Structure 1
Amino acid sequence: MSKPTNILQILPATGWVAVYDESGEESAAALVCFALVETLDNGSKTQAVRPMCADGKRIAFADEAANFVRVEELAQFEEDEEDEEEEEDTEA
């Protein structure tokens, strides 16, 4: 059974992506927002900031996907991808 979670606040996530593992390759999906959430677990409340992505016609917590890896700034993700491509070209 999932723990009761309430969204307390929504924050913009412009320029941030959720990174997923797609069969050993990383892919990125733009974040819609960050959510400040409060979770009740055995009478104890905890707060956390969680990433949210569009999932078809709804918005879902990105970190609930089985293949979720991390959250990263889009510019950094693109830079890392370019570095990997350069390394592959050098190795070839």
Structure 2
Amino acid sequence: MSKQTNILQILPANGWVAVYDESGDESAATLVCFALVETLDNGVKQQAVRPMCADGKHIVFADEAANFLRVEELAEFSEDEEDEEEEDAEA
């Protein structure tokens, strides 16, 4: 039997990004929404909240990308980037 995933609810993701590994550097993509999903796998139901982002003309699950790392608030990601730039300038 195969997995079946259904979106039960869409939630706003204002101010959140998906963080990806780009050859050792981190990049961020704005999230479109969070989706409450229910997956049926061999008769077992599981629910989870998953991030979704735009991929061209489609909206996809961000966590399905091979280089997906995490979800983070944009403000936190921006602060981390600024801290790294400051450390690089001091070196």
In structure 2, relative to structure 1, the CA distance for the partners of 1:57 and 1:36 (3 Å cut) is: same
Q: Partner letter of residue 5 of structure 2?
A: T
Query: 2:12 — aligned with what?
Result: 12
Q: Which runs of 5+ in 1 are unaligned?
A: none
Partners of 1:13 and 1:22 lie apart in 2 by 23
SS of the residue 1:45 aligns to: strand
Q: Which residue of 2 aligns with 1:72?
A: 72
Q: Distance in 2 between matches of 1:4 and 1:81?
A: 38
Deviates more, 1:60-69 or 1:2-11: 2-11
CA contact (8 A) 2:39 2:47 kept: yes
Q: What RMSD over aligned residues (CA atoms) do the two structures have, in Å?
A: 1.1
Taking the aligned partners of 1:60 and 1:22, their CA distance within structure 2 comes to 19
User: Which amino acid letter does the alignment assign opposite residue 43 of structure 1?
Assistant: G
- Which whole-Å CA distance do the structure 2 matches of 1:61 and 1:10 have between them? 12
| Structure 2: distance between partners of 1:2 and 1:58 | 23
Counterpart position of 1:48: 48
Q: 1:67 to 1:35 in 2, by over 3 A?
A: same
TM-score (normalizing by structure 2):
0.97
Please report how far the alpha carbon of residue 17 of structure 1 lies from its aligned counterpart in structure 2 after TM superposition. 0.1
Deviation at 1:3, TM superposition (A): 1.3
* Consecutive unaligned residues in structure 2, runs of 5 or more: none
The runs of 4+ residues in structure 1 deviating greater than 2 Å are: none
CA distance in 1, matches of 2:68, 2:28: 10
Amino acid of the residue matched to residue 33 of structure 2? C
Q: Which runs of structure 2 are paired with 1:77-88 in the superposition (5 Å)?
A: 77-88=77-88
